[in-house]
Structure 1
Amino acid sequence: MKILISLLLLINFNLALAQQDTIVQSGANTEMKRKAEETATVSPHDKIRYDTTNNLTPVEFKEHRIEEHKQDKDFNYLEEKQQKTWWQEFKEWINQKYQQFLRWLFGDYDAGSIFGFIIKLVPYILLIGVICLIIWLFTRMNPGKNILQQPQTAKVHLDDEEEIIQNADIPSLINTAIENGQYRMAVRYYYLQALKELDLKNFIEFEAQKTNNDYISEITNEQLNRLFRKGTRVYNFIWYGDFQVSKEDFLLAEKGFSELNSTIKNTKNE
């Protein structure tokens, strides 16, 4: 029984404390609200206070200064659209066609990828290649060489056969080769002698880069063509075939070349 009474008293005491706290809090809120209303309320008779210690003057804008600033280029932020030159339009057209070609060839590609980076390098690689080709052609042809150098009239570079035909005494070379038993060399001199005579009488036009067959095709006289063709076969067999010529073999070859040279001298070029 005593325990029950003690519990009831404890419950009533707690309720009383809670009620007291609620009353105190409510009063405090009411007081704060009242003070806030008093602070926010401005009386019609109150005046706005401002600083009267500084000597403030209004800013005046001068019309002539505004016009001066309008004429000043530093204050002109308008961008004039310049007309493109024909060279700029040509470059844009080339770039447009190049991009169309790439899209046709590779389709759409990511410009930021490695493949896109390589494609961007292609025009520069081609340009470098063209420049290198021009330099190579220039060094090969060397058009300014004859201008920069002094003319050389008495200096001509010839190969062995051309040197012999143009400058050597071929009959003396033939006799020297026969006396020394160099029959193979003598056959060569006989053939070069025939080429020289044919060139002098305009049956052929001697050039170092021509072949023996080229000379055969140039001779239109049938008899002369037949004899020269026969002599060419003998010469090719002995000289280019590295054939060791005996004295008897040389006498047979000499007879054919003597007939060829005699026919050249006695034939008129019509």
Structure 2
Amino acid sequence: MNKLILLFLFFFCSNIGAQDSLPLAKKEKIVFTEKDVVVDSDFVALKPFAKNFKKKYIDEAFIYEFKTPEKNAWDRFKEWLANFFKNIFKFTDSKSAVNFVDILLRTIAILIVLAVIYMIVKSIMNKEGQWVFGKNSDRKIINYDEIEKNLHKVDFEKLIQKSLESGENRLTIRYYYLWLLKKMSENHLIEWDVEKTNSDYLYEIKDEAQKEDFAYLSYLYNNIWYGEFELDEATFAKARNAFEKSIKKINNG
């Protein structure tokens, strides 16, 4: 046992001595010069930003802070309507009331558009085109709206003939009425003016019989021209005869 211990100590001491006898490695200092530095000589082109490049980043995907849009007058009005109908119809939530208001406003808008279209179509259908003056006007063609302004130049007999041929009985009665005013003005029974009304002319007529005739003819004209009913042949013939009789009486003095 003692021999083993001695052998172990011998080898241990020999190993330590061998380590102490190893020479120390010498550290070399590395020095770099400019020749050792590699310079990158490649050309680098600058890439500028595209003009108005910021516009590409204004979509919702690039907006990280969402702000509640301010309500305008129309939005506040719709909100007021929604609250109003919500209280009346007892909607369960505000969204239902808003949807109801949207449908209501769209319906009203459609009705307004249809009403405008109806008025335009009706105006076109009632348009009476252009007509011809008498001989003294060199047969100039004028618009119907100008007839009253040029009452004394219009050849009403030709206008009446044209309207009869086209079957426009209601328009024929209007021409008879304007022809009556023309004859009354020419015979100094009235002072014609485009701004005057039937009541104004009735007040100017002095003769009671003529005043009574004019009152009746004015009644016929107003009901036929402005009435919305269908003008039958019997009513038209009766009115036509009344106008022709009165005009003939005025011509005969």
Instruction: Determine if the TM-score, normalized by the shorter chain, exceeds 0.5.
Output: no
Q: Which has the larger radius of gyration?
A: 1
TM-score (norm 2): 0.41
TM-score (norm 1): 0.39
